[in-house]
Amino acid sequence: MWGGRGSAEDDVSEVGTMGEAGTVIEVGTEFVATPIQAGDEELARVAYNADGLVPAIVQRRGDGKVLMLAWMNETSLRRTLETGRTWFWSRSRQELWCKGETSGDRQWVREVSYDCDGDTLLVLVDQEGRGACHTGNVSCFYRSFGGQAGPATS
């Protein structure tokens, strides 16, 4: 069920699937907001640290590329779920920020998971624009130890 769409200019979508021998790879991207209804019981499972924060891994839907890690407080998590866009807490600036609000490199949330201990979040997104990293790279993880470039297979 789709709802809470943004402005008309955000409503750009491209959907496709391809698979082989039982493997279905979702390659579609949807640059539309899809709010997630979360209950208070679920939200209470999140274990924030002493600073009221929890790390949020952002992963691209389709190819599973890990794009970045940023921090959320309870307000930014609720706003992420309600708006279908990624909201984080900036520890350096001490303020909420919405990814891509100024750069245009928006993240459209498709799913938010929490781990067994509730102390880490995993946010599945469709990434709009150049990518997630302020350096211009698609992923913030563009360098690997041993002098290699970033992950080739993820």
Q: Is 145 in the site for a second copy (CB under 8 A)?
A: yes
Cβ–Cβ under 8 Å, residues 91 and 76: no
What distance, in Å, lies between the first and last C-alpha atoms of the chain? 29
Q: Is 138 in the site for a second copy (CB under 8 A)?
A: no
Residue of 10, 55, 74, 138 that binds a second copy (CB under 8 A): 55
User: Cβ of residue 1: shortest distance to a second copy, in angstroms?
Assistant: 11
CA quadruple 36, 41, 47, 48: dihedral positive or negative?
positive
Residue of 33, 65, 73, 84 that binds a second copy (CB under 8 A): 65
Q: Which residues of 93-126 are buried (b: 16+ CB within 10 A; e: fewer)?
A: eeeeebbbeeeebbbbbbebebeeeeebbebbbb
Residue of 32, 96, 98, 133 that binds a second copy (CB under 8 A): 133
Q: Is 113 in the site for a second copy (CB under 8 A)?
A: yes
> CA 132, CA 118: separation in Å to the nearest integer?
24
User: Cβ of residue 45: shortest distance to a second copy, in angstroms?
Assistant: 8
List residues near a second copy by CB under 8 A.
18-21, 23, 25-26, 36-39, 42-43, 45, 55, 57, 59, 61-66, 68-69, 81, 111-117, 120, 122, 124, 133-135, 137, 140-148, 150-151, 153-154
